[in-house]
A and B are shown apart, each in its own frame.
Chain A
Amino acid sequence: MKSEVPSPAGPLGRNQHGQGGISATGLARSFGRVHAVENIDFRAAPGEVTALIGPNGSGKTTLLLMLASLLRPDSGSITVAGMDPVANSSGVRAVLGWMPDTLGVWESLTGREILTTMAALYGMDKKSAAQRAAELLKLVSLGDLADTPARVFSRGQAQRLSLARALINDPSVLLLDEPASGLDPGARVQLRTMVRQLADSGKTVVISSHVLAELDEMADAAVFISKGRTVRSQTLAEAGEQTRGYTIGTLDITALRETLQARGIEASYVQDFDSARGSAKTRLATEAEAAALLAALVAAGVPVTAFAPSSGLLEETYLSLEEGAS
């Protein structure tokens, strides 16, 4: 994937009608006796990347299907780019890009044919469809494989094609269901850059993923769901303000312990068997507090080798929610 995306008139940023975003309230949907979604409130603003986070089976895919106008909610209301997906599904579909978590490809068709077919299904004429397909294939680094049958694509390649497919109609609302699974590290970085650029060009981007560290880097807000319910909605700025766990590595655990205890900081310590090395885990309320502590440790002559948050921002919230639940 090319990380440099021509903007705003390039492949990612043509449509600027991003106003509206997504808002859903009180959503519920069950399949027979399974309550996949019980009560979800969800909001995603244009120009932002909204992460959708939750354990397996918590209802993320079901929520995205409802937002994508494929599944009718049992109750609750949805607005996507100002339209109701149940009442005006074609209106929503025209401005929506959906990347499912299952990879659907027509195996005997080439990547280019798949993209031009999809373009045709959005009412694009042949010429602009071909042009758009070529642009997107280049964007997701499938230029070389453009005319190979999709049957031979690797999982990651199919995933990239699926992303290109979701972008074919230059959607103003983009729903990505675990887009990074199967991608190599390089492609993940490119995906992040691309998602960021899409959001920056005014699109509403919703992304579900289990790789929270990655979401830290691209998301502006996060919605946590569990067992079909929204358990937390927060912006990343808010996540940054919460108490976080820090891990401090040192060459001299005794010195570290003394300094921390002198400052009245509670921590748990782990020491190496055969040396004075070790580490301490503690919780700090703010980043300012962390900076102050580090400065103090260094000033006290404690040989600090590492000083970092134990987990990512979103992971912190995720874990605290799990603790709260159990």
Chain B
Amino acid sequence: MSAPVMQHPSSTPTLGYAAGIGTIFTLEIRQRVRSSGWYIMLGIWFVVIAAVVGLAALSVGVDGFGAGQMMFELVVAFVLLFGMLIAPALSSNSITGDRANGTLAILQNTLLTPWQLLIGKWLAAWVASLGFLVVTIPLIAWAMTYGDVYLPGVPVLVGMLALELAIVCAIGVGVSALANKTLFAVLISYLLVALLGLGTLIGFGLSMKLVQVEVKASEQFWSEQNLNGDSSVAWDDNAYSCGTALYPQTIFATERNTWLLAANPFVIVADAAPRPLPKPGDDSFTTVGPMGAISQGVRLSQAGQLASTPCINGIKNTEVKPEEATPLWPLGLGLQLLLAGSLLVAGRRKLHTPAGKMASGTRIA
């Protein structure tokens, strides 16, 4: 056959980039909204979180302090926790499911490109998991009515929450593109999410041994008016001096290993949120709620135990200027984006057609 190459009329069809993504997105969302399981899950979710928030309102509301902030942060923490549990399931069967169904090859045989497929699936999984945030809007509104919610923190917490869900969905979709079996994909995405959520904690805990240091501490001497009679003191940075008799004390230099917590989703969300500045003269706990507690805990850990040891080498630690704690979340977010991004890129390569090497035991159709 000596037909000239490419003699097609001008009407060669083309598929716009956004149009392709949009079509896949619609295809996915359509399937999801038609499964009743999805609504049942949302319903159960709403009931559970409403109960938790309601209880919080009851118990914290008694003394009238911080109920709104507490409720709001509980919603954020729960959505994040539930998102970590749900998003991998929502996203990790998105491509393996099509593979098992025989519909992936059909999509690949159209003008759709692998990136359009991945992005469309990812957006759909993300929007679906955002549903779990959206149904909690009434609860967030309820928390707002208490008037004590620190407003600058709200958009950041909600935004970071949405971003974390997006990252988990990207991990799930990437794994889904790489895996051949849905079960395997679900398992791997859960393991990766657990690595972020729990693995960081475990790593942090295990590394404690490595950051153990010995310092020379000494006793504090308090002026009379600070002594309470029993062995406790009314703490005041300016009202004590350090003894000269040094003794060795083992402390943990957590400023060296706190970065291990960086990629924890809770740490990222909590750390990114702005906190109300402590009122001068009042250095009592300025935070209520789980996210505030996480944020505060991480900041303390970043400062290191040395910073909270009153007397080192016979000098008051307040005289040693503590290093300004750098925010941890950019590092964590970077690590997560790197993980999600490389999974997506690897998934993209796996979706390339015409397929070269194929995993053994898989067929295209």
**Which residues of A come within 8 Å of B, CB atoms?**
17, 19-21, 23, 31-32, 43, 45, 61, 65-66, 68-72, 79, 81-83, 85-86, 89-91, 93-96, 98, 100-109, 113, 117-118, 120-124, 149, 165, 169, 177
Contacts and interface: CB of A to CB of B under 8 A. Distances in A.
Contact of A123 (B14, B26, B104, B354): B14
Interface in B90-116: 98, 101-113
Interface centre among A90, A121, A165, A177, by most chain B C-beta atoms within 10 angstroms, is A121
Nearest to B101: A104
B145 interface: no
A123 B6 contact: no
A47 to B, nearest CB: 12
A165 B15 contact: no
B320 interface: no
B342 interface: no
B5 interface: yes
A70 B111 contact: no
Q: Is the interface of B mostly helix, strand, loop or mixed?
A: loop
A82 B5 contact: yes
Contacts of A118: 106, 110
A65 B111 contact: no
A141 to B, nearest CB: 21
A123 B15 contact: yes
B353 A45 contact: no
Interface residues of B, number: 44
Interface of B: 1, 3-9, 12-16, 19-20, 23, 26-27, 30-31, 34-35, 98, 101-113, 353-356, 358, 360, 364-365
Given A17-B9, A45-B1, A102-B365, A69 B109 contact: yes
Given A17-B7, A108-B35, A124-B13, 19 more contacts: A20-B3, A32-B360, A69-B109, A70-B105, A72-B354, A91-B6, A91-B12, A93-B109, A100-B102, A102-B102, A105-B101, A109-B31, A118-B110, A121-B15, A121-B23, A121-B110, A149-B34, A165-B106, A169-B110
Nearest to B5: A82
A139 B311 CA distance: 88
A289 B23 CA distance: 61
A121 B24 CA distance: 9
B9 A104 contact: no
B177 to A, nearest CB: 16
A69 to B, nearest CB: 5
B12 to A, nearest CB: 6
Contact of B109 (A98, A107, A113, A117): A98
B111 A19 contact: no
B30 A109 contact: yes
Contact of A83 (B6, B98, B365): B6
Contacts of B9: 17
Contacts of A79: 1
A89 B109 CA distance: 9
A177 B106 CA distance: 13
B111 A90 contact: yes
B16 A123 contact: yes
B365 A61 contact: yes
